[in-house]
Structures are given as structure tokens and as C-alpha cells.
Structure 1
Amino acid sequence: MGVRVLAILLVVLLGDSTGDAATNPYDFSAIMGLMTDWQNAPPNWVGNDPCGNNWVGIVCNNSRVTSIILSSAGLTGPLSGDIGQLSELQFLDLSNNKGLTGSLPEQIGNLMKLTHLILVGCGFSGQIPDSIGSLQNLVHLSLNSNRFTGLIPAIIGNLSRLYWLDLADNQLTGSIPVSNGSNSGLDMLLQAKHFHFGQNQLSGTIPSQLFSSGMRLIHVLFDNNNLNGSIPSTLGLVRSLEVVRFDRNSLAGAVPANLNNLTSVQELLLSNNRLTGPLPNLAGMNALNYLDLSNNSFDATDFPSWIPTLQSLTTLMLEFTQVQGVLPVILFSIFSLQSVVLKNNQLNGTLDIGSSQGNQLQRIDLQNNNIDNFKQSTGNHSVEVILVSNPVCQETGAAGKSYCTIPQSNTSSYSTQPNKCIPAVCNSNQTSSPNCRCGYPYTGTLVFTAPSFSGLGSSTYFENLTGIITMSFQSYQLPVDSVSLSDPRKDSYNYLKLNLAVFPSEGVSFNWTSINIIGFVLSNQSYWPPKIFGPLNFIADQYTYFADVQVPTTSKNSLNISVIVGAAAGGFVLLLLLAFVGVYAFCQKKRAEKATEQSNPFVNWDPNKSSGEFPQLKGARWFSLEELKKYTNKFAEANQIGSGGYGKVYRGTLPTGTLVAIKRAQQGSMQGGVEFKNEIELLSRVHHKNLVSLVGFCSEQGEQLLVYEFLPNGTLEEGLSGKSGIRLDWARRLKVAIDAARGLAYLHEFANPPIIHRDIKSTNILLDDHLNARVADFGLSKPVTEGERGYVTTQVKGTMGYLDPEYYMTQQLTEKSDVYSFGVVMLELLTARRPIERGTYIVREVRVVMDKDKDLYNLQGILDPAIGLGTSLKGLERFVELAMRCVEESGADRPTMGEVVKEIENIMVFAGLNPKAESATTSASYEEASKGYSTDPYSNEDFTEDGGGFPPSRI
């Protein structure tokens, strides 16, 4: 939800405000009112036209202020009631300005068009005004980490569009409001996915009315409050839940028996309450990673037999739960298990943890039990076992055993390491980035309120998170060089905290706009790390090293005679300086041109012969820039057929009459010289009817252009979404699948050396005029040399949603990574859904719904109706099975692309289709529907999480 809005807003923030008119006088008056009460306003807030003069943080549309984004700007003072005059305001983000104090004005309820109100990490206090309930368009409300007091306004329940509600880390009191007759309540928020209320002083019971089967909640966080009474059984009706935290309250009574209905829950924390009755049976909650039921008053019971069935479990916390008996050795065979904490119980007998070799087990803490023997196998000595205050540690000679002593704290000293370079020696206050460049980073703390893992000693989690955050910023073309994470630790609330440092890619510091946008991305929660990290908050440090330099203005009345005399005396010196500067600038220009030439990947290329660096082009042609200008009528706007973050795509006509598509990179595009050269080298030497053909290229006068064959029917994504006017029935989808699979199999098995594409997705599969599919975009592709057979260790690149989780976690790239991505494309062919859409991952959704005992494997609810539901879909079940084999977690369990080709051919034969036949010519109806539609099949677009939003590459 938030990603689409973020993309739209960033287009405006990084461009110019729309409209030439001067700022609306009412809006200007309101801004001046705010500025009067604020100290440390941005330095370019001068003059009388915020819209026309592009004031930092102000976004306008036709003279009206639509957004104020001033994250981490160092503002101090109150938020004036003048804010209520900005009747067109849609975004208000003042997050991480700790100096903003006082109460929220009632006038904030006048902002009827407001969709995002983000005030994270400020110093606001007092009651949250009831007028917020008037903001009917609000979808995102973040007031966390302030000092708000009083009750949660029940009228928030009127906000029917609200998606995100975060009031955590305040001083709110009273009960949780629910509707009652004409009164509103939080139970009315049926569209909300996030209830974040942790770290307050809420009291009373949790109303059973708060939850219902019609809700879409994924996060329910009520930890660290003063809630009492029982956990309502209605919680078990919200089947969409993924994270549940009710720990550190005063809840009593038995845990509802229907809690195991929540089969999507990954983190469940009910610890530090007064819960009684039997230990809840959570069998069937197979997604559960983190389970903490510690410090309650459950009935004494033998260790539950259902716990070893939870094969996703990483952390088991059952301290002070009166568990007794012998721990089964099968518990320690769970591959993902990292920590087992069963202190202060009545466990007895022999502790046998098996070999535990090959799994992730790190810590077993069984202090204060009745264990009288410990059987330790070879291969598990790396597991930290604590048996202090057990009979086994009271035996003679036991004092010297490692498991009979309490080890030092296991906090991690992890920090991001340099990226194969030597850290730079920097000036005072500057820091060396992971890429060994000095700069002033934007810093703060990432706070994860429910991570699904417990082992902080493993660097793999944090290394991958670093790469994903960096890739996220760069996908929005933010000026970020690199990201560093350090000092992972758990606080007293059991939250995971990480220090974050974001380094600039331009100069040594960020400007005001960049800080605003980076802060907005993090505070808006539109960027999501992998789910293993859970819900996220970002608390920023104030940034004081802005690159912007304010030019002081001096009135004529302030000039005095000394200034005039000084100017006259300095005139001659100035002339000498200008001459010197001219000579110096000429020399610097020559140096810069030489440096640019040396950094150019084509510096050694000779267009007339093949040198060691020049690729064997095999038919691809070197075009001059003048030729391409001629073929596109000087890149006329009428010939533009698409655009993306790299630049624009133009239709061109060669002298032979052949249509071509010319991709022209813009300065500073995401595709650098290495990727440009890589795509030329690969496409010029691989030739297959299911791979897009490279006609030629141009590298001249600082320009980078690629010339492709023209494919009129656009991308597979456009065909599935209906944008191109093409209808893809079941037979055509099978044909698209076999075509793309053959292209990939050629790369893996017949190219010499083999090639891993690394960015297979529906926007990189193109359709020709006969709807034959061709694989495109080789900018990220990786040839596999003889010494790299098996896997290639390389930086993670690709597109979220299609990215192989094994490659993402290990950085070991194999052909099976392409197989995973192709499996996701197969699921797109079935459902016409983006891989990550409205917060749902298509692989997981199919896996949950799929039932082989039912017709069409029970997938009717998510199949694309255009596929031909109601007609014969022969082979669909086999196609689904193949797709799910392709997206297995382990690459070893996936088929090769050659095997995928054979199976799709068999499916087509089963469906009565000829797998060797070419597609039929596009019908007249399709041609008619496509008239006037400009396709862009050559872009490298990574679409947003909820589908249909602006792709980040356009920003």
C-alpha cells in the first residue's frame, strides 16, 4: 500500500513542483505561521513563494501545497494550528525532529485530504486530538515514540481506509476502545493491517469485540502495557495474523484453545503474564519461528509432543512454565532451531541433544532443572549448553565442565565489513564507508519489535539485510553509496536494535532533500526488510552536515564605504586570480577527461578490429551517434516508446526498413558502464530464437545506447495485466512458458561458458508479433567459468519477489537461482498477480491454498479468470506441481531448466498442443485492441510491492 504512494511522491520530490503559479496565498500564510514557531527551518525557506522557489521539503501541485516532508531536519518548537489551513495537504512527515514539542493542534482535523501523518520520534505530548477522526482519507498514522498521554481516541475507528496504526512507545492510558452503538472503536478498522500499541500504560481487558474474522490484521503488538483479563478467543478468528505480542502485561486465565487456527503466525510472545491452565496446544502452526510462553503459571505438564513438529522453529522460550519430564532428542533435530531456553522448570533424566550437526543450534539453557546426566555427541561441541543448578553439575568433577558455568554475555560485536577495500583515513567527524569512501553518514537506530530469530552471533542475517537496504535505496535512485549496520543487541523489551549508517554517493554529505526522502522511506515503512526481521521502527539521529550552502543575502542599505574601497583595491588582484583560475580550470578539465577515458570500459575497444578487450560481436554492429539520431529523427518525442530509470526507449527505422528499439541511457542512470558492456558481450555471442536479439550499440560522446530488434507486443507482464490488449488463454500461456524455458535452458546448458541470467521476471520476457516469447535484459547476467562450476559467490542482485532465497541468504549464485525465478513467473502465468502484491507473496499464497485432493488443486480463487476458467484446463495441475518444484527452498530440490523444458513439453502434449509449433499470428482483434498503445518492452523495471504502482526505476 505504502510503496505505491511512496513511488508517486518521490517522483515529485526528486523533480520539480508542478505548476508555474505562485503559491496560494492561504497556503503561504500557513507555511509562514509554521515557520514563525519553528527554529532551524531549512536554509532556503526565504522569499514569498515556497512552490515557485522549491523550498526544501515542500511539494506543490498547481500552486497548492500537497506535501511537507521534513524528516530529521532538526526542527524545534510547536506545531502551529496554521497547519489546518493547508486544505490540499496529503503528506505530513515531521519524523525524527526531537525538538518538536507541545500538543497536536485540533486544527489538524481540517486536513481532509491527508493520507499520511507521520510524526515518529518527535517530542509531542498531551492527548491525541479527537479531530484526527475526521481525516477520512488517512491510510497511515504513525505517532509512535513521542510522549502522548491520555486515552486512545475511539473516533480513530471512523478512519475506514486506515492501513497502518502505530501509537507505540508513548504514555497512553486507559482501555482499548471498541464501538458501542453510535460510538466508534478500533474494531471498525477492517482494512487495517497494523495495530502497534506496545510500550504504553494501557489497562483494562482486551475486548473480545476487538477482533473478528473480517479483519486483515497481520501485526498485533500490545506488549509492555498493564492489560489484564484473558486473551479473547476471537483472536483466533483473524487468520491473516503473522506477529502476535501480548507479553509483559498482567493477562490471566487460559490461552484460547483455537489459537492454533493462526497458521500464518511467525512470532508468538505471551511471556511475563499470569496465564494459567494447560500449556496451549499449538500443533499445526507450522509457520511459527519464535515462541515465548515464559514466566506464566501454567499447569504442570510433560514436555509437549507437538513442539518438535514445528519445523520452522528458531527460538523456544519456556522459562518458569512448570514443564517436566525428559526432553526428546528429536527436538534438537529441527534444522532451523537456534535457541532453547527452559530455565526454572522440572525437567529431569538425561539431556541428549544428538549430533545436531548441520543445523543452526547455538544455545540450550536449562538452568535450575533436575537434569542428572548429559549425553554429548561428537560434532555438537559448538552448541552452548548451560546446566547450572542441575544435579549433573553437583557431581564430583563437574565443576570443570563448561556446561556447569554461566558463560559471558553472548552479545554480538558484528559490524559491516569493508567491501574488498582498505578503510580510508578520514578527517574529523567523517567515517569510512563500506566502500572505503570518507563521508558524513546519516545515522540512527533500527528497532525490530519481533524478529523471528535469536542468534545474534551469525553475521549472515545482517549482511543480507545490509544488501537489501542498500538495494532498496538505490532502486529509488537515492544518492546512497552504501549502508553499514553494527552493534546488534536485545533491549529490556526483547526488541532487536541495530545501528544504521547511510553513506552518500555524491560528495561527502547529503543535502536536505536526500535526508528528507531517506528518512521518509524508513519512517513510512514502505521499505520492508525480509520477514525474518519483523516489524520495524527507525529512530534517526539529527543530521548536521548538510551539503546545501545557503548564499547570504545583503540589502543595499548595509553596504558601507569600507566595502566599496575594499572592492576597488581588490579589483586588480581579482583579475590576476581570474587568469590563474582559467589556466587551472583548463588543466583540471584535461585531467578529468583523461580520468573519464581511463574509467570507460570501452577505452581499449577498437571498432575496426577485435582486440583482447573487444567482444566477438558476431553480427552486432557498432553504430555512430549520428546514425542513431538519423534513424530516430533526432530522438524525436514522437518516436519515444518508453522510459525507465536508465533513460528512454525510441523506435527507429534502419535504412533497410527494419524497425528497431533504441535504449538510450541518461546520465547517472542505474545501468553503469560495466552492465552496458556486459549486456553487449553476452547478447552478441548468444543466439537463440527465444532470446532477444541485439542489433548493435553505440558508445560515443558520453552516450550509451543499445539497439534491439523491435518486439511489438511488449512484456509478458503487460500481456497478463491487459495493458497491451492481448488475451492470453491457457494454451498461449503454455506456449509462453515453453519459449522462455527454452531460452533459459540454452543459456544454462548450451552457451559457452554457461550464463546465469540473474533477473528473470515477467517484465524481462518479451512477446513478438506472433506471441512467441523471448528472454531479455542481460545487464545482470553472470557467465560461469570452468573454475566456478557449482556456484559463484557474488553480491546479491535481482528483483525482490523473484529472488532465490538460498542465493539471498548465502550469496552463492547457481543456475537453480534462475529456476526459482522462473517458477515465480510460472505462478504469474497462472494468477496474473505480481509476485508481491498487497503485502502477499504469491509463492506462499499458492503453497497455503493448494490442495491436491480438490479440483484444480483448490486454486480457483487465485487463478486469473482470463486463463479460461470454465473451459478445459488440461495439464494445469501438472503445471502447478512443476512451478512449486521450481520454487523449493533448497536449490538441490529444484529441477534443471532442461528438465523444466521436457516437463512443459509433456504437459502441452497432454493438453493436446504441439510443443514444436510456432504461435499463430496475432488476431485482428488483438491488433485492433493494441492500436495507439505504446509499449516499453526494453525497460528494466522493478515494480512496487502492491502491484500497479510506479516502478522505482522511473524515479
Structure 2
Amino acid sequence: MQRNQNTCSFSLSLETTMLLLLLLLFCPSLVLSLNQEGLYLQRVKLGLDDPDGVLSSWNDRDDTPCNWTGITCDSLTRSVNSVHLSQSNLAGPFPTILCRLRNLSSLSLYNNSINSSLPVEISTCQNLQHLNLAQNLLLGPLPSTLSEIPNLRHLDLSGNSFSGDFPATFGHFRRLEELSLLENLLNGTLPSFLGNVSTLRQLNLSYNPFSPSQIPPELGNLTSLETLWLSGCNLVGQIPDSLGRLKNLRDLDLALNSLHGPIPKSITELTNVVQIELYNNSLSGEIPAGMSNLTALRRLDASMNDLDGTIPDELCGLQLDSLTLSENHFVGNIPVSVARSPYLFELKLFKNRLTGKLPSDLGRNSPLKVVDVSENLFSGEIPEHLCENGVLEQLVLIYNSFSGNIPASLSKCRSLTRVRLRNNRLSGEVPAGFWGLPQVYLLELVGNSFSGQISKTISGAANLSVLLISRNQFTGNIPDEIGLLANLVEFSGSDNQLSGPLPSTLVNLTKLGSLDLHNNNLSGELPSEMGSWNNLNELNLANNELSGKIPDQIGSLPALNYLDLSGNLFSGKIPPELENLKLNQFNLSNNRLSGDLPPLYAKQIYRDSFLGNPGLCSDMVGLCPTRSEAKNQGFAWLLRSIFILAGLVFVLGVIWFYWKFRNFKKNKRGVDKSKWILTSFHKLGFSEYEILDCLDEENVIGSGASGKVYKAVLSNGETVAVKKLWGGSMKEDGSDENGRISDDGFEAEVETLGKIRHKNIVRLWCCCSTRDCKLLVYEFMPNGSLGDLLHSSKGSCLDWPTRYKIAVDAAEGLSYLHLDCVPPIVHRDVKSNNILLDGEFGARVADFGVAKVVGPKSMSVIAGSCGYIAPEYAYTLRVNEKSDIYSFGVVILELVTGRLPIDPEFGDKDLVKWVCTTLDQKGIDHVLDPKLESCFKEEICRVLNIGLLCTSPLPINRPSMRKVVKMLQEVGADNKPKTTNNDGKLSPYYYEDTSDQGSVI
């Protein structure tokens, strides 16, 4: 019995052992477990929001985390030494538990949404050497304990919202080599104790709103420093001589500050420096002697300062890649040595007072790509060797006094893309090959004395988009070959002596947007097949000798809004199809037209458009005198008497009716006009009584949060807009219980607009008030608001040049409010409906009912409109011009996309988020308004980038309105975009070309 029991026990034990062995073989996870470092990382995963599933590989089925995404381990010890989770869309507070990884030496959470403050416990990461938390949502003060990490070498906290002052402990780092705090909200002073961190090789503090600070001379102690970026740091005072001790410095960027005084001579001791950026300061004096010591220098930008004197020969003798000394006060000649620099590929000296001739050898020994010496006092001939090396791309010489011919050598320069020779004294025939350069997209010869014909070789200019040759002495026919320029968008050849018929091949130019050939000797008939000009916006053929009938096809051009055929020999009837057009400028005067006017144009307001056509018949006085004479024949004396009597009765009847009507309106309103108070801000040609008589419902042209708006046509022929404000009790922001602007809004608008004089701010003529009613009288804007026009069926009439002009005008108006008014004014309700358009689509900023003077006071109620409100309103109601800039950025996105700021198609997104998401997922073509011409795509994209800058989630990253105006103008001037770093982000040092303001190419 006992033996059997033992046997059974042994058998059971053997079976159990075998079962365990099988489990170990096939299910090792039952006995293996995740190590302690893996458990720490699991807790990190639980504390972060991971919508993209980047951390999905962080599971407990592994014994170590070494194969997990973003984790690197030591090959021998299998201990975690690096965590790299850049651009993973992670969100949540900083995971301090990472500091329990005892061998962690590198941590990068770059470009995520790590939020809240950075805890002081960060110092427990004792083995960290590399810490990158850039481009997150961290805020609050910089932790003072960071310097307690003994081996920390690289610290990058750029692109967050850290604020306050530098902790004094930041002068105690032991081994720190790189400190980057670019684009934060640090608002203390620039500390001198950073000069104690002798191991620093890179120091980047750019774009922080520091209190006005001087550059600490102690920074000269950082003898290992290779990069010093302090652009946009609100620096004042002079550049200290001590910076000359930084012998290893390669990049020096002090741009976009308020530095003054001379450039110190000690800067010539930076023998290893490659790049010096000093632009946009107030530096004065001459460029110091000794620049020839800087043998490594490749780029010098000292533009937009107050420097004077001449350019030293030794500077021009350096092997520079780029020499930029624009917008200073240099006088004198360019030294001949500038032509001998074998590495010079950009020469930009625009907007100075340089005189004399360009060096004759310029370009002979250097691979010149860009020459821009615009707006100086240069004379003499254009050097013939500019394209000696065959790489010249841009030649911009506008607004000088160059004379002589275009060198024949330039007609062989096939690399040229952009040629601007406007307003010089050049003469002679343009070389035949110059007309047909294959890469040129802009050829501008305006305002010279060129002669000869447009060569047939122009057929080779396949890339030509804009041809501007006005105000010269060109003769002969326009060649048929011009119809081969499939990319031509604008052709302006006015004020020449061109003759012969318009070539029939012009109808092949389907992208043509503007054709201006007025003041020439053109003859013959207009091409009959004009229906292909679907993009034509302007047609100006005035003052020629064109004849025949006006083609019916003109009425089918969908984009045409400027038509001037005056001063020609056109005959026949006016095509009724012209009624299909929406014209802002219309002139058919001084021709030989006959017949009746189309009903739409048979109105007195169009009278001047038809003068000088004896055969036209209409009831308008002066257009058809022969018909009037026929009517007065026969019983002239009897008819005259009847007319006089009837007129007298009519006048008396009108006077009686007007008197009764005024009494009726007075009784209807129950208003005593004697109690109205009129306050005028300009000289008026009307009284308050005329205004009151126009406040009828049939004159209402708009209604909004502030009140109703009426159109009032006054007795002097002037038209004004009258805003009648809503009544009611008030809140702090000037709104009543329904959110409407009332008494305080009236005071705000009067207080704001009454003292403003700016072409892009709507003009307030006067205000009228009683105890119960408030009226504001403005200049009338015939084209209404941008929002109404852009988002209605009329949006197609807003082509890109018009939209761009509106953006610039509105930006200049807001810039004036923010930066030129004393004290500055924040609009607080910038939107497309508050940007009004005059008859020529000039923009005016309007509706100042919630405007406030900039100050520290916070508002208890959010002002603004859905889709335009800046995101910082979620955590503060403080009045700040940055909220206006955000709202204006939304307006830019409206202009570029043609979409509303809030649209059901966006779901829970607004326009800003929709644009960003669509750009990332589908690309630029799915964002741009399909109604815009593709030829402007590059320019539209650059304006879109400005809109995205303005709508940055962090207020500090939004440019000032003055900067926005400058960037928009630079787009119009077709300047090169800023350079980018390897991450595709804007570099803290960049060059801005502002040479040719006002162009749209």
C-alpha cells in the first residue's frame, strides 16, 4: 500500500516537472518579466497622450525596453541611455520619472505638446548630457536647478513659453556647450553672469521680449564661443568692444534690435567669423578699417542702419558670397576692387546715395548671380561683363541714371530670369537676342528712351510672364510672334509709337490679365476672337487709331473690370453684351459710335463714358443734340411756354411735397431736431438735418452688432454712410445685454476715429447725438466690405493683385493704429467684414466700437468674432496688439483660400486649423482658392506663409504689424524668401531683399 502511494507521488511529480518544462519552452513570458527601467517607461506612457500610437511598441511582453520605439540601450549593460521621441505628437506634463533611468544621457522630446511648467526635479537626471525640449508648450520660469546637472552639455528649450528672468544659477553650468532659448517669453534683462559659462560654444537667445538691455561686456569672456545669436532681443546701447575677444566666433547675429553708435573696430579681430548680421538697428558712423583681417568672412549684412561714408576697398576685396549694405547713407563710388572679388555672387547696394559708374570689370572674375543697385545715383553704361561666367539671374538697376545701350553680351545671357531697368536714361535699340532670353519671366524697360521695334525673336522668351516697355520710343508693328508667349500675364506698352494692327495671335494668350497699349499709333480692328481672354482684367487701348466695330465677345470676358477704348475711330453700335460686365472703369468717349445706349448705361452717371460720339442717342443732355433740335422745331414758342408753365407747377409741387414729407418724417420719429448735438471732425458740406432725413428702412445697407448702417445721398451729391447705434444698458466692453455696442461703443468709436488721419482707416466725418440716439457719419465705401464681396457670388472679381492690394492696405492701417498712434490702439474686432473697400478696391479698416488703448488692464468680456479670436483668450483677457495680428492673419487666410473663418466643412476646426491640417495632409493646391490665377502661385504661397506667421499659437512668435507690412511689400517686390535651416524653419539670421517696393512680380 505504501509502495503504491510513493509510486503515484513520483509519477505525479514527474508529470508536473514535464508540464513545467513544456510551459517554459512554449510560454517563456510566464516566467520572464519586464525589468525595472521598462516599468518606469510604462509609467511614462500612462502619463502621456499618444493619439498617433507612437508608443504602441512599449508593452510588457519584453524583458527590456531596448527594442521599443525611441529607446536606445548600452550594448553591454542593456541599460537605457537615450530616449528620443521627437515630433511624435505626444502631449502631457514633463515625465520626471525618466530621471530614474540612472544611465540616461540623452533626452529629446523636440516638437511635441509637453505642457505645464518644467519641474525642479529635472535636476535628478544627473547623467544627462543632451536635453532637447524645443518646440513644446512649456511655460513658467526657467528651473534654477538645471545647472545642478553636472555633465549637461547641450540644452535646447527653444520655441516654448518660458517667461521671467534668468535664474542666477545659470552662471554655474560646469560643462554646458550649447544654450538655446530661441523664441520664448523671457522678459527680464540679458544677464552678465552668462559670461561665466566659459565652456559655451553656442549661445542663442534670439526673439525674446527682454526688457531693454545692453549687450553684457562679460560675453567677451566666452572665448570658446562659435555662435552668438541675439537678434530680436530688444538690445540697446552700443556693441561692446569686448566681443572682439571671441576669436573662435563664426556666426554673429545682432540684427533686429535698437543698437546705436559705431560698429566697434574690435569686430575686425574676429578672424574666424563667417557671417555677421547687423541689419535693422540704428548703427552709425563708417564701416571700420581693418575688415581685410576677416579672411573667413563670406556674408556681411549691415542693411537698414544709419551708416555713412564710403565702402572700404578692403571690404570689397574679400572673398565674399554676399555683400548687403542696403538702406544706409553711403555716398561715393563703388571701389574697383569689388569687381575683383572671385567669390562675389551677390551685390546688393540698393537704396543708398552711391554715385559714379559701376566698375567695368564687374562680373568678369566672379560668378555673379544677383546685381541690385536700385535707387542710387549711378550713371554711365551697364558693364558688359556682368554675365561673363554665364550664371547671372537677376539684374535690377531701377531708378538710377544709367545711359547708353544694353550691352550686346547680355543678349546671350541665357541664365537671366529677372531684368528691371525702369527709370534710367538708356537708349538705342534693344539687342534682338535680349527680347528672346528663354528664362526671363520679368522684363521691365519702362521710362527710358529705347527705340526700334519689338524683335520677332521674342518668340524664344517661353518663360516671359510680364513685359513692361511703356514710356519709350518703340516703333513699328507688334510682331505676331508675341502670341507664342503662352505664360504672358501682363503686357504694358503704353506711351510709345507702336503702329499697325493688333496681331490676331494675341487671342492665343489665355493667361493674359492686363493689356495696356494706350497712347500709341495702332490701327485696324480689334481681334474678333477675344473670348479666350478669360483672365483679362484690364484692357486699355485708349488714344490710338483703332477702327471698326467693338466686338460682341468683349461682353463675355468674365474677369474684365477695366475697359478704356476712348480716343479711337470705333463706329457702329455699342454691343448690348457689355451689360454682362462688372466694370469699375469704363470709357468709350471720343469715337464714332452711334445708335442707342444699352439700357444699363443709359444713366447720367455714365455720361462721361460716351462723350464725343455725335451719333449716340439717349435722353442724356449733350449726347444727341440733333435729336433735341428736331424736337424743338415746329411749334417751338408754344412748347416753350408749356414747358415753362409745367416746370413752374412741378417745382412748386415738389417744394410743397418736400415740406409735407419732412413734417411727416419729423412727426413719425417724434424727434426734436433742435436737440441734436453735431460734432464734426472735418469741414462739412451738409447739416445734421440732411442726415436725419435719410434714416429710412429703404436706405439700410447693413446691420451688425453695433447697429444699422444707412446709405445717405446728400443734396451736394456726396454719399455718406450713417451708423445708428443700438441703445441699452452697458457692460464694461461697451456692449449691452444682447452683446450689441451702445453708448460706450459710441464713445470708443468717436474717441478713436475722431483723432485718426490715415488713408487706410475709414474717415469719420462727424457724429450726431441726443440722449436716446447716436449717429456716426462715415465716408461711403461703394464696394462694401471685404467679407461680403469675398464670400459672395462677386468673389470672382477679386483677382489676386486686388486681394494683395487689400491685404497691404489693411495691414498699413493696423500698423498705424499699433505703432504710430499715441497711445497705441488695439482694434479688437479685426475681420473681413470690418475691412471696407472704396471704388478702386482700396481698403479701409472700420468699426472701432470695441477698440481700446493698449494698457495693462484686462477685459472681463471677450471682444471679437468667432474664427478671428486669438487662442490666448483662453487663458487671458489682457488687451494686446498681438490679438489683432492673429485676427489679421485669419483675414489673410481668407484672401488666399476664399473660405470663411468658420465653415461646417471644417468640422470642429476653424480656418487656421483647417489650413494647417490640409497643408500637412494634402498639400498647397488643396488650400489655395481655385478662382485665383495659377501664375501668381508663388506670390500667393508667400502671402499664405505670412498669414500662418500671424496666426502662430504663441503671441511672441507673431510679427509686429510693421513687420507684416514690410513682409507683404517684399512679396510685392518679388524679393527672395528668408533662408531656412536644416529643419525647414526660419533661420535666426536671414537676408531680406527690399529693393523694389511696389511691384507685384
TM-score of the two chains, using structure 2 as the length reference: 0.41
Larger RCO (CA within 8 A; separation ≥ 6): 1
Bigger CA radius of gyration: 2
